[in-house]
Amino acid sequence: MEITQLPEECISHIMSFTSPKDACRSSLVCPLFRTAIDSDVVWRKFLPHDYHQILSNSALASSVASLSKKDLFFHLCDNPIIIDGDKNMSFKIDKESGKKYYMLGARRLSIFLGDIPFCWVWNSSPEMSRFYEVVELWIISWLDIKARIETNILSPKTTYGAYFVYKLNAYSHGFEKKPVEFQVYFEGEEEVHGHGGRHGVFLDPSKDEQQLCRDRGDGWMEVEMGEFYNDGGEDHQVVVCSLMETDDHTVKRGLIVEGIEFRPKFAVSPSTSVLFVSLDESGLVHRPTIFGIMNHDFWNQKMEIAKLPEECISHIISFTSPKDACRSSLVCPLFRSASDSDVVWRKFLPHDYHQILSNSASASSMDSLSRKKLYFHLCDNPIIIDSDQNMSFKINKESGKKCYMIGARRLSIPWGVTPAYWRWPSLPAESRFSRVAVMELEWWLDIKGRMETNILSPKTTYGAYFVYKFNERSRGFEGNPVDFQIYFEGEEEVDERMVGSRELLNRQMRRSRVSLNGQMGRSRVFLNPSEDERQIIRVREDGWLEVEMGEFFNDGGDDHRVVVCRLMETDSCVTKIGLVVEGIEFRPKSGT
Q: What superfamily in CATH does domain 81-264 come from?
A: Galactose-binding domain-like (2.60.120.260)
CA distance 8 to 34: 10
- First-to-last alpha carbon distance for the chain, in angstroms, is 60
The secondary element (H helix, E strand) that includes residue 76 is helix 69-78
- On the CB side of 276, how many CA atoms lie within 13 Å of its CA? 15
8 A C-beta contact, residue 155 and residue 264: yes
CA distance 232 to 216: 28
Could you read off the pLDDT tens digit of each residue along the chain, which spans 592 residues?
455 666 777 777 777 878 888 888 777 777 877 888 888 888 988 999 898 889 888 888 788 888 999 999 999 999 999 997 778 999 999 988 899 999 999 999 999 999 999 899 999 888 889 998 999 999 988 899 999 999 999 999 899 999 999 999 988 988 887 889 999 998 887 544 444 467 888 888 777 666 788 888 888 999 999 999 898 877 788 999 999 988 777 888 999 999 999 999 864 433 333 343 333 333 333 333 334 433 333 334 445 566 667 887 888 788 888 988 888 887 778 888 989 999 999 999 999 999 999 888 888 888 889 999 999 999 999 999 987 889 999 999 989 999 999 999 999 999 999 999 999 999 999 999 999 999 999 988 999 999 999 999 999 999 999 999 999 999 988 888 899 999 998 875 444 333 333 343 344 433 333 333 333 456 788 898 887 777 789 999 899 999 999 999 998 877 789 999 999 988 878 899 999 999 999 999 976 6
CA distance 403 to 378: 10
CA distance 422 to 416: 5
The secondary element (H helix, E strand) that includes residue 365 is none
* 377 burial type by CB count under 10 A (0-12 exposed, 13-18 middle, 19+ buried): middle
DSSP code for 107: G
Tell how strand 158-173 and strand 276-280 pair up: unpaired
**Domain spans in the chain, listed from the N-terminal domain onward:** 1-46, 81-264, 276-347, 384-588
3-state secondary structure of 321: coil
CA angle 89-109-222, nearest 5°?
75
8 A C-beta contact, residue 198 and residue 183: yes
What is the pLDDT at residue 147?
A: 95
Rg, the chain, Cα only: 29
What is the pLDDT at residue 514?
A: 37
Task: Decide if 276-347 and 384-588 have a common fold.
Answer: no
Q: How far is CA 485 from CA 127, 175, 512, 551, in A?
A: 46, 21, 9, 10
CA distance 588 to 395: 9
Q: Which residues pair with 483 in a beta bridge?
A: 524, 568
CA distance 365 to 354: 13
Cβ count within 10 A of residue 314: 22
CATH number for the segment(s) 1-46: 1.20.1280
CA distance 203 to 214: 10
Say which amino acid occupies 107: R
CA distance 467 to 585: 7
Domain 384-588, CATH among 2.40.30, 2.60.120, 1.10.3470, 2.30.30: 2.60.120
8 A C-beta contact, residue 91 and residue 81: yes
Q: How far is CA 84 from CA 13, 74, 102, 166, 389, in A?
A: 34, 21, 12, 21, 68
Q: Does domain 276-347 have CATH number 1.10.10.10?
A: no
- Of 101, 16, 8, the residue nearest 54 (C-alpha): 101
8 A C-beta contact, residue 96 and residue 267: yes
Q: Which residues contact 50 (CB under 8 A, 6 or more apart)?
A: none
